[in-house]
């Protein structure tokens, strides 16, 4: 459980990146295997959506990997309905705007306030980790 605290600290310091989620997943899977937490397929799907969300922010900030493309969720997200649910929630909370779904596998949207967007995504990640570890992070 101590290893997950590294990533919680990165969330708290606003230095968490999309690439950290694969490392978080590794820790979560190890902790699930040892019986410390119960990790479900939905939890993994949520983390995939959060990876996509952070990648889109990194594109806006100019810090994205060269392999990341605007709106392209196909390489990251397995559960399209989960992605749609999260994006709909972000629209309702006015975190994103002008959402456009492309039949080719794109979800394009505007991020009016990148700072607010980042905190919103970080909050969703914290909430998931809090639920998994049943403690306040």
Neighbours of 93 (CB within 10 A): 10
Question: Any idea which residue has 């969720």 for tokens?
Answer: 73
Question: pLDDT digit string (tens) for 82-108?
Answer: 999 999 999 999 999 999 998 677 899
- pTM > 0.95: yes or no: no
Q: Is the pLDDT of residue 137 over 70?
A: no
What angle do the packed helices 114-133 and 2-12 form, to 10 degrees? 160
Question: pLDDT digit string (tens) for 7-22?
Answer: 999 999 999 999 999 9
Q: How far apart are the first and last CA of the chain?
A: 12
The predicted pLDDT at position 9 comes to 94
Structure tokens, 63: 């810090």
DSSP code of residue 64: -
The predicted pLDDT at position 106 comes to 87
* Cβ contacts of 27 within 8 Å, gap of 6 or more: 3, 4, 7
């Amino acid at each position: 459980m101590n290893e997950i605290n590294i990533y919680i600290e990165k969330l708290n310091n606003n230095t968490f990146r999309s690439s950290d989620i694969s490392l978080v997943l590794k820790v979560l899977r190890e902790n699930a295997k040892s019986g410390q937490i119960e990790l479900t397929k939905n939890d993994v799907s949520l983390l995939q959506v959060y990876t996509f969300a952070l990648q889109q922010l990194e594109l806006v900030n100019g810090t994205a990997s060269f392999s990341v493309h605007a709106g392209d969720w196909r390489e990251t997200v397995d559960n399209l309905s989960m992605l749609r649910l999260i994006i709909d929630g972000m629209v309702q909370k006015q975190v994103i705007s002008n959402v456009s779904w492309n039949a080719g596998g794109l979800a394009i949207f505007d991020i009016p306030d990148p700072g607010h967007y980042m905190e919103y995504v970080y909050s969703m990640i914290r909430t998931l980790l809090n639920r998994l570890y049943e403690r306040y992070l």
